[in-house]
Amino acid sequence: MGNNDREIKESTKKVAEKTYDVSDYDRNDELSKGMAITHEQVSDGYVEGTIDGKIDKTNEDDGLISHEGKDIPRKGHK
């Protein structure tokens, strides 16, 4: 195996073994920046739900009444 192949293998292994860490937001290396951006995108998608999502109707104890709640405001989006 050539030196370049070895470097590629090590680089690939480093990426494959990487998991998100909150400190990724403060790091400057490309892998950590990518992990922080991906984490932000996943968090946004999880919180917002689907594009056609609605705010659930709940009672005063936050118990679900219905999934047929009001539309999520989409100011500035068409």
H runs (alpha helix) in the chain: 3-17, 30-48
Sequence-separated contacts (24+) of 43-48 with Cβ below 8 Å: 48/72
pLDDT digits (tens, 9 = 90+) for 4-29: 888 888 888 888 888 889 999 999 99
pLDDT digits (tens, 9 = 90+) for 14-67: 888 888 899 999 999 999 999 999 998 888 877 766 666 667 778 888 888 877
Give the containing element (helix H, strand E) for 56: strand 54-58
Q: Say which residue, 72 or 28, is predicted with more confidence.
A: 28
* Count of Cβ atoms closer than 10 Å to residue 24 Cβ: 19
Domain extents for the chain? 3-71
The pTM assigned to this predicted structure is 0.50
- Which pLDDT score, from 0 to 100, does residue 50 have? 60
Which tokens is 19 given? Answer: 């998991």
